[in-house]
Structure 1
């Protein structure tokens, strides 16, 4: 990991003065704030965007509900506009460069760190200590309160963004993260008449902010996350068209949305390993 991180750009300096906050509890603009790309969400976030130097917990039922699409605008801003690096620590699926390029993300600024579950926290902390880091995305099912405090301190010292993906059941646990959000997919009203691709285009994301600086959110937000498909080689495009002609309609209960997405993504991975597709992680989750 050290060898990979040593290739990152150098240039981030510590901003100790920003560790002392003064101002109104919500929507206090800061030049270092990174917009989420969603106006409604920005208005609900302290500082009107993602605040560097803090951990944001995204509590999800299953990986693949749209969490990367939710962060895509911010990752693009950090990598393509600001020239900073973004590190993925222990994602459950292999990042797909073709789909990330479709989002205009500078993939040369992305680092994928593989880590066993008992090493994820250490890898995240070491990532935050590197120079030139804009954000660290961390997938960690189990973490205790002490470890969360340590991660928050690391993010604060680095003045970088840290996004921690945890299961929904963690919402009942205390956390040192200043911002905690429950993210759930919303089933389209006419889902029973849609095929899988149409269904994925129409699924929205409900966000309930259960902890933030200032008063709690009055009601959950509902965001429509754009789903951009990477360009396919001609032979794969024709194969897609042939499959679409015989595609089976899917009927999914609202309580099984995330599980359905996960199963669909796994099917894509099975096809990938069989040589049928060259996309997987991003086609089904929009990354």
Structure 2
């Protein structure tokens, strides 16, 4: 297994571990939110749901390298359908929470008795504190592994998990305030959580959209012309590209080098990747180096 394949495998394992822990955190938040009838905690759970879905898409994208039956890498119709269902669910959930929060604030302002009784106790607050600590630990672990493995997917996921953990601190402080009698804090925080959830969802989709694209991003002939500018390459073939030029492009290719240049194959691969990025912007490039006889192959 090449170095690049090893890094992808390690990134996949880290993402899978993060996914299961994030789903566990999500389940605990939803359970406590339902038990306490806290709108802010339910709304904050939407952030964790978005983070879980983003990690799932990253797992699928990284895993697609592992299966030869899949066309290139990235996402297909199933992932696009899942994304549309998530957006529809988030839209319904956000509108529902906003409506209930508005009615709660109106009831508080008019001193009405039609208020949702929020049931807060020290034990639940302690559980939420543990959940918050777990989120911080998962985010810190992902960020560390992102630097070691040079994984953009892990770095993006870690940043969102950190954001989720900080928002959880705000919600936890709000629940403490509610237990002291400031009932208006919960619906106000719920509205804030809904707004930030919409922003978070847009950021996730904006980052994942290039990998959701299935059509060819750059003509193979144009890429071949750029590749041949690097000395030592005798032939390039099986050139595939997807994504959005200027945003993020995914490129995969096979190269045949001159026999005298096999010793500097890694340097040539780096020059090819640099040339593609200089011309087409951000790009993730996977290069397979074949020997002249077609017997050897390695990936960058």
TM range (shorter): under 0.3
Q: Point out which structure has higher relative CO (alpha carbons under 8 A, 6+ apart).
A: 1
TM-score norm. by structure 1 comes to: 0.26
Greater share of strand residues, 1 or 2? Answer: 1
TM-score norm. by structure 2 comes to: 0.25
Greater share of helix residues, 1 or 2? Answer: 2
